[in-house]
Structure 1
């Protein structure tokens, strides 16, 4: 595992560049797609996107650890989000290395893509499960896939399963606009799924 691994990630979202820019620069919007709900989320967002980010409107943000986010217009209602950490992407030393930050950005930008496609203004609630797991298909329609993670849309909910080479897994389920009863039902459903992938 490495936080130093160079990478370039591109995710295309169905939204204009100015909409995506707001999602990446306004903490009150970031909290509805970044990571998962926990007590320190707002502090983490402030650290990453405010204290260690230098925005260059309308299309570039210099992030900490030499990372750069660029927004590229791909049509009137489409934007490519590209994040780069410089280095030799083809170096053999990185070929089979799990990159913590790389995998995080893949998941987070897919969460943003899903939010903009499904519920751009709805509050989110997440379900997090961690422990030993296998990288398998989950219920729903495939949303994205990489070597170490898979995402599935299940009736407007996004489930992302990531598994590190040693078998340590994390399931993050993003729901939108659920009341307490519906959220409890979703938790029960995904707990059953989680037991099947362990």
Structure 2
């Protein structure tokens, strides 16, 4: 079953719209730091097939998926409606990955607006094959509390982390992390991925660490914790970047 692709953000619709229409702002929540992030943002949000709603409450992005903004008493409900799948398309096998990606990015959008509206994030990312098992399970995150509740745990990476549960879904866990930001909190999202024949036959997992205003020494320490754990548990995977 597809997860509900919506979040309620404690911001007004105009603030959300700005986060959808300025490339530098989009980079604070879409995906993670990568060499091709800028090009991906330009293609998805500013390509020739993108359509802005005249009242700034809807945005059709490249590929036909639609963002909708709806004012609610606690802020703005932001939802993504997926375009109909073309089973003959080269992207058909990746349809669930795209759906799960939007869910991740919506929660990163909410976090950026509510916690670091003027901040600049620095991310770490890695993906691993499913042959080593679920990363959510291997990290001990299967039984975190309900969204909004506090947590405190020692990850098998060796890090002691605490904060609040940002969200949970069928395949993802999001946690705020105190020591991932100089002021406030950073964000950790771990997601398990479905199998894709001939591409990812055993499924897999990914993790996105979003940090804010940390020094080089702190960033290196976080990267090293994660990369050591990745290499020990998923030795065929690519390094954290």
Q: Please say if residues 3 and 170 of structure 2, whose CA atoms lie closer than 8 Å, have aligned partners that are also in contact.
A: no
Structure 2: state its 5+ residue gaps: 86-93, 142-154, 156-160, 179-184, 195-201, 235-241
Match of 1:131 in 2: 128
Q: How do 1:29-178 and structure 2 match up within 5 A?
A: 29-51=25-47, 52-56=49-53, 57-75=55-73, 78-86=75-83, 99-132=96-129, 133-134=133-134, 135-136=136-137, 137=141, 139-140=161-162, 141-155=164-178, 156-165=185-194, 166-178=202-214
TM-score (norm: length of structure 1):
0.82
SS of 1:99's partner is helix
Q: Please say if residues 9 and 106 of structure 1, whose CA atoms lie closer than 8 Å, have aligned partners that are also in contact.
A: yes
More contact order relative to length (CA 8 Å, sep ≥ 6) = 1
SS of 2:11's partner is coil
Match of 2:237 in 1: none
Aligned partners of 2:43 and 2:102: how far apart in 1? 16
Larger radius of gyration: 2
Root-mean-square deviation (CA), in Å?
Answer: 2.6
Bigger mean CA deviation after superposition, 27-36 or 184-193 = 184-193
Figure out how many residues of one structure are paired with residues of the other and give that number. 185
Moved over 2 A (4+): 5-8, 138-141, 188-198
Match of 1:19 in 2: 15
SS of 1:70's partner is strand
TM-score (norm: length of structure 2):
0.69
Partner deviation per Cα, 1:91-118 (whole Å, 9 max, x = no partner): xxxxxx9711110000001011111122
Q: Please say if residues 6 and 84 of structure 1, whose CA atoms lie closer than 8 Å, have aligned partners that are also in contact.
A: no
